Structure formats: C-alpha cells, structure tokens
Amino acid sequence: MAVKTGYRAVSKYLMGSPFKVRPVADLIRRKPYPEAMSVLENMPHKGARLISKTVKSAASNALAGNKQLVEDMLYVREIFIDEGPRLKRVWFRGRGRADMQLKRMCHITVVIDETLGSGAVAASGKAEK
C-alpha cells in the first residue's frame, strides 16, 4: 500500500473555464504557501479567487491533521485543473438561427505538503550566513 503524502482539497463543479484557470495555477505550483496566497490575493482573475479557496482548504486540512505544522512549513506540491461538465445553452442569433453556448466548469485539486526542513529554521540559517 502506498504511503500517504500531502494534504488534499478538492473543489468540484466551479463555474470557470479550465483554460482560463490553468495559467493562474501554473503561477503557484511548487511555491511556499504564504507566497502562493499573496500571489493569488493580488491577482484580478476570477480563477485566482477559486484557487485561493481550495488552497486555504488544503492548508486547513494540513494544520488540522498535524498540530505541529505551521503555515510557513507548507508548500503547494501539486495542483490540477480538470474539466467538469458543460452546461449547454441556446444563443439566439439573427435570421432565425441559433448557436450552442457552452458554459464550462472545472474541478480544482490541490495537494499541500510540508517542506523538508522547518521554515523558521531554514530562514534563520540563511540569515546567519
């Protein structure tokens, strides 16, 4: 049986196109948790709001699962943006025609893990040199 690593959070059926959300996810992949949250909070994209909720949930799962962890010790290990179902709507056009409008949904999966060394020790070690 595989060893469980990381803490997951999944948000499903979010109204946002995966094509628009994926570039935001690429910016925070493999970044420390505080840095990832500051990047997401300062972005104007809708996808940043959707991802930040899921990242906060994964961090809460990590902190609740291991009481010895601190937020500075966490980093975004994996983030997936998968396609969800599509809502099909009729878009009426001129001359009696109609087009199909697809409202796309996405599923966001975030895995947060702890860094190898504690964040406070690693930061103080760099400052002393």
The C-alpha atoms of residue 91 and residue 24 are separated, in whole angstroms, by 29
Answer left, alpha or beta for residue 41, where phi above 0 means left and psi between -120 and 50 means alpha: alpha
pLDDT digits (tens, 9 = 90+) for 37-60: 999 999 999 999 999 999 999 999
The C-alpha atoms of residue 91 and residue 28 are separated, in whole angstroms, by 36
For the chain, which domains are there? 7-128 (3.90.470.10)
pLDDT digits (tens, 9 = 90+) for 5-16: 899 999 999 999
Give the pTM: 0.84
pLDDT digits (tens, 9 = 90+) for 56-114: 999 999 999 999 999 999 999 999 999 999 999 999 999 999 999 999 999 999 999 99
